[in-house]
């Protein structure tokens, strides 16, 4: 299992600030699995971080990886 | 300004060996523009004025309302109805008469943005919507100004410094590196829709002031290429490293003239095919045959709308249910009238203008506000 953390209004979709899901080989596969489990993630906007670092392309994962989905906030 | 005159005022921070008299002199010479004198802008302004930032600009054309006061700490109940930038200047000048404060009671737009930013060294984003946030970000990239970014949602906040020089002298990431394209209207909810605990922007705005002071005095480690996320409900702080995204460059207007042609409102999906309906017309239509009223809020959102007939169709899953709408007049509503615009837009696209589609202006909040005023019998 691998830990995924959700911030902001993404927690409305997942119902939790973190979920454990089966390990995926890379972030593309992980995001596909996540959006099957939570279809509303498909229309949500977020940036992905692996081990506290933003990623802009598909990234390999291992059991120690921590994944974060961070949405934009607009309020002020 | 003679620093020795003000020595007493700034004594406690001049005593900090990292800051000292040199740091204080840098603060007094600095020029900082705060965009938005709201929940983030007020605390940021208060600490910057207290710290002796010598030149502070405030741009905001909005007026103070009662529901601002739980978080916009520069204002008093007696200030309701006054223009925020002007009231903020008055309050700050009373706190520190030794600095220059300029209020711009204007709406920031692509025509005035670049000229205004060029008068300042650092820009602070205290705005409350994506259209302005993207405009401010792009203008900072074009003018080469560091942007101290803060944003809040419910119990969570984000702080970072965009477009500043890192330790190697390279420009740091900007907002487009995180989110190249703005979300459409309603995709991400604002404070009016989701609510916000007053102390949260207090905390985030104060951190923006701290980041600004660190940038000016060149002490510590500002959040350059890093974003700090704060959750006050669980007292958790999460810091992540930000990296440039090559898509970012293509999205930012190349120069001033391209910037002036940008339509940031349109980019954020303030849809031109959506008709809004006011409360009076809504009242007339709501019980008419052939009219369906649809609540697009998510499950569990309060208050319940049980004073007029309606069905629930949460925006997050509405795309799958649009085919079920058969009525000739459709009125969407949500909490504050933003998400319902997106729903109306989606239905327009789906059925190519077969029915009359409206979005209730101001949403359920407006219904409640007018009910309290006794607008309805």
The answer to whether A49 contacts B239, with C-beta atoms less than 8 Å apart, is no
Does residue B185 register a pLDDT over 80? no
Question: What pLDDT is recorded for position B342?
Answer: 84
Does residue B192 register a pLDDT over 80? no
Does residue B194 register a pLDDT over 60? yes
Q: For the CA atoms of B307, B313, B316, B321, what is the dihedral angle to 10 degrees? A: -170
* Neighbour-count burial of B15, counting CB atoms closer than 10 A to its CB (0-12 exposed, 13-18 middle, 19+ buried): exposed
How far apart are alpha carbons B161 and B143 in whole angstroms?
15
**Residue A51 contacts B, CB cutoff 8 Å:** no
Question: What pLDDT is recorded for position B377?
Answer: 38
**Nearest by CB: A73 against B152, B177, B316:** B152
What is the average per-residue pLDDT within A17-39? Answer: 94
Does residue B79 register a pLDDT over 50? yes
Contacts of B227 in chain A (CB under 8 A): 70
* Neighbour-count burial of B315, counting CB atoms closer than 10 A to its CB (0-12 exposed, 13-18 middle, 19+ buried): buried
Task: Using DSSP bridges, classify how beta strands B275-277 and B356-360 pair: parallel, antiparallel or unpaired.
Answer: parallel
Question: What pLDDT is recorded for position B2?
Answer: 53
Question: Which of B93-107, B175-189, B224-238, B274-288 is the least confident region?
Answer: B175-189
- Alpha carbon of B265 to those of B108, B129, B348: distances in Å? 12, 10, 19
pLDDT digits 0-9 by tens, B337-369: 888 988 898 898 888 766 799 999 989 988 988
What is the average per-residue pLDDT within B211-240? Answer: 97
pLDDT digits 0-9 by tens, B259-308: 998 888 766 666 667 888 999 999 999 988 999 999 999 888 889 999 99
**Residue A76 contacts B, CB cutoff 8 Å:** yes
Task: Using DSSP bridges, classify how beta strands A47-50 and A66-70 pair: parallel, antiparallel or unpaired.
Answer: antiparallel
> B73 pLDDT band (50/70/90 cuts)?
very high
Higher pLDDT, B346 or B257: B257
Nearest CA-CA partner of B342 in B353, B357, B327:
B357
**Nearest by CB: B40 against A5, A68, A76:** A76
> B98 pLDDT band (50/70/90 cuts)?
very high
Angle between the N-to-C axes of helices B199-217 and B41-51, in degrees from 0 to 180, rounded to the nearest 10: 40
Does residue B138 register a pLDDT over 90? yes
What is the average per-residue pLDDT within B224-248? Answer: 95
**Residue A45 contacts B, CB cutoff 8 Å:** yes
Nearest CA-CA partner of A66 in A54, A50, A53, A55:
A50
Question: What pLDDT is recorded for position B302?
Answer: 87
Does residue A39 register a pLDDT over 50? yes
Maximum average pLDDT range among B3-17, B232-246, B297-311: B232-246
Nearest CA-CA partner of A75 in B155, B344, B165:
B155
The answer to whether A73 contacts B188, with C-beta atoms less than 8 Å apart, is yes
pTM (two decimals)? 0.80
The answer to whether B157 contacts A71, with C-beta atoms less than 8 Å apart, is no
Sign of CA dihedral B55, B24, B146, B71: negative
Question: What pLDDT is recorded for position B353?
Answer: 62
What is the average per-residue pLDDT within A14-41? Answer: 94
The answer to whether A54 contacts B240, with C-beta atoms less than 8 Å apart, is yes
Q: For the CA atoms of B352, B357, B360, B364, what is the dihedral angle to 10 degrees? A: -90
What is the average per-residue pLDDT within A13-41? Answer: 94
Q: How is residue B367 written in tokens?
A: 């219904």
Q: How is residue B174 written in tokens?
A: 């900007």
The C-alpha of B131 sits at a distance from chain A's nearest C-alpha, in angstroms, of 9
Q: Which residues contact B348 (CB under 8 A, 6 or more apart)?
A: B273, B274, B357
Question: What pLDDT is recorded for position B197?
Answer: 92
Average pLDDT, chain B: 91
Residue B196: DSSP 8-state: B
> B186 pLDDT band (50/70/90 cuts)?
low
Does residue B4 register a pLDDT over 80? no
Q: For the CA atoms of B337, B340, B346, B349, what is the dihedral angle to 10 degrees? A: -60
**Nearest by CB: B189 against A9, A49, A56:** A9
Question: What pLDDT is recorded for position B370?
Answer: 84
Question: What pLDDT is recorded for position B132?
Answer: 94
Nearest CA-CA partner of B236 in B228, B226, B244, B247:
B228
Q: How is residue B110 written in tokens?
A: 């692509």
What chain B residue is nearest to A51 in terms of C-alpha separation?
B240
- Measured in Å, how far apart are chain A's first and last C-alpha atoms? 37
């Amino acid at each position: 299992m691998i830990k995924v953390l959700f911030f902001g209004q993404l927690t409305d979709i997942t119902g939790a600030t973190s979920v454990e899901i089966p390990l995926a080989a890379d972030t593309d596969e992980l995001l596909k699995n996540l959006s099957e489990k939570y279809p509303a993630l498909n229309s949500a906007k977020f940036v992905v971080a692996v081990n506290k670092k933003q990623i802009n392309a598909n990234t390999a994962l291992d059991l120690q990886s921590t994944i974060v989905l961070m949405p934009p906030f607009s309020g002020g | 300004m003679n620093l020795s005159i003000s020595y007493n005022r700034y004594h406690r921070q001049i005593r900090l060996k990292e800051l000292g008299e040199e740091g204080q002199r840098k603060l007094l010479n600095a020029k900082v523009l705060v965009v938005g004198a709201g929940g983030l802008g007020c605390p940021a302004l208060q600490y910057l004025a207290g710290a002796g930032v010598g030149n502070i600009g405030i741009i905001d054309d909005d007026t103070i309302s009662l529901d601002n006061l739980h978080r916009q700490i520069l204002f008093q109940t007696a200030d309701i109805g006054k223009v925020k930038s002007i009231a903020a200047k008055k309050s700050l000048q009373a706190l520190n008469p030794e600095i220059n404060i300029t209020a711009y009671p204007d709406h920031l737009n692509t025509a005035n943005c670049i000229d205004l930013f060029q008068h300042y060294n650092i820009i602070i984003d205290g705005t409350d919507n994506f259209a302005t946030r993207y405009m401010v970000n792009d203008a900072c990239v074009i003018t080469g100004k560091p942007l101290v970014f803060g944003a809040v949602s419910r119990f969570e906040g984000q702080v970072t410094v965009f477009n500043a020089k890192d330790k190697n002298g390279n420009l740091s990431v900007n907002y487009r590196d995180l989110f190249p394209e703005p979300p459409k209207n309603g995709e991400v909810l604002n404070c009016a829709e989701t609510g916000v605990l007053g102390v949260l922007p207090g905390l985030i705005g104060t951190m923006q002031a701290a980041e600004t002071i660190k940038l000016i005095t060149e002490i510590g480690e500002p959040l350059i290429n890093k974003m700090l996320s704060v959750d006050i409900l669980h007292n958790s702080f999460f810091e992540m490293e930000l990296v440039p995204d090559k898509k970012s460059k293509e999205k930012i207007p190349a120069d001033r003239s391209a910037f002036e042609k940008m339509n940031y409102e349109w980019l954020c999906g303030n849809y031109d095919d959506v008709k809004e309906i006011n409360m009076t017309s809504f009242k007339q239509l709501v019980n008419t045959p052939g009219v369906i009223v649809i609540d697009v809020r998510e499950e569990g959102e309060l208050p319940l709308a049980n004073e007029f007939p309606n069905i629930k169709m949460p925006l997050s899953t509405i795309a799958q249910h649009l085919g079920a709408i058969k009525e000739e007049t459709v009125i969407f509503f949500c909490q504050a009238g933003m998400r319902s615009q997106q729903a109306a837009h989606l239905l327009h696209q789906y059925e190519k203008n077969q029915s009359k589609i409206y979005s209730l202006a101001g949403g359920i909040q407006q219904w409640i506000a007018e009910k309290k005023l006794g607008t309805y019998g």
